[in-house]
Structure 1
Amino acid sequence: MNTKTRNIIGWVLTAILAFAFFASASMKFMGGADAAKSAAAFGLTPEILKMIGVVEILSIILFIIPRTGLLGTLLLAAYLGGAIATHLEHQLPIFAPVILQCVVWVTATIRFPELSQRLMGRTATV
């Protein structure tokens, strides 16, 4: 795969992730009866739910910016790890956070070749 195709795929996947995380965060900010009911089932107050939304937004913004993308990757991975653990704790399906986690890592390895090199144990070619 050439560099141009790799960049296009990386940015398209980044846009999909940004849409998903911004939509999720906006639902946390908007509140509503359904969001409050879901949060209460997890033992979360509306204030904590809004803080989680802030963490989501900050993480995806860091992921989008190329210079801070690796930090954003780690923060999104940690966030989604918490989501998976919470879903498991409450006997909910884990498909959505697991799929998002996979898309985050695939996107990160496409956008950041140095991450791919580290994960695959390859040395950088000079």
Structure 2
Amino acid sequence: MSPKVLRITGWVLTILLGALLLFSAFRKIAPDEATITEAAAVGIDAATFFTIGIIETVSLILFIIPRTGVLGTLLLASYMGGAIVTHILHQQPFFMAAIVEALIWITAVIRFPELKQRLIAA
């Protein structure tokens, strides 16, 4: 693929992930009754849920900004790893979280060549 196609693909994936994660963070920062009930089912109170939403938002902002994108990638990957573990511990489907985790890494490898060199180079 040409560099231009890779750049466009990287930004399209970034926008899609950004929209998905922003929606997720918004549900945590300004939850409705159903969201609070879902969180309580896995043992998360409203204050903790709010904090998780702030962490998700900050990580997403760092991921979107090119200069801090690698740090944002690491933070989002860690965040999604925690989400996967939480789903597994409570016998809930975790495939969506795993797909988002994979998309984060695919997007990062496309957007940040230095990360690709570190991960793929022998």
* Both proteins in one fold, TM over 0.5: yes
Q: Distance in 2 between matches of 1:94 and 1:106?
A: 19
The corresponding residue for 1:74 is 74
Q: Determine which structure has more spread, i.e. the larger CA radius of gyration.
A: 1
TM-score of the two chains, using structure 2 as the length reference: 0.97
The corresponding residue for 2:46 is 46
The corresponding residue for 1:59 is 59
Q: What residue ranges of structure 2 are gaps of 5+ in the alignment?
A: none
Q: What residue ranges of structure 1 are gaps of 5+ in the alignment?
A: none
Residue-by-residue CA offset, 1:7-56 (whole Å, 9 max, x unaligned) = 00000000001000100011112211111111111111111101000001
The corresponding residue for 1:21 is 21
Secondary structure of the corresponding residue to residue 24 of structure 1? helix
Q: Distance in 1 between matches of 2:101 and 2:29?
A: 22
Q: Distance in 1 between matches of 2:65 and 2:50?
A: 23
Moved more, 45-54 or 26-35: 26-35
The one-letter code of the counterpart of 1:7 is R
TM-score of the two chains, using structure 1 as the length reference: 0.94
Q: Distance in 2 between matches of 1:33 and 1:114?
A: 43
The corresponding residue for 1:5 is 5
Moved more, 67-76 or 38-47: 38-47
Secondary structure of the corresponding residue to residue 56 of structure 1? helix
Within-5 A mapping of 1:108-119: 108-119=108-119
The one-letter code of the counterpart of 1:38 is E
Residue-by-residue CA offset, 1:66-85 (whole Å, 9 max, x unaligned) = 00000000000000000000
Q: How many residues align?
A: 122
The one-letter code of the counterpart of 1:36 is I
The corresponding residue for 1:30 is 30
Q: Distance in 2 between matches of 1:75 and 1:22?
A: 15
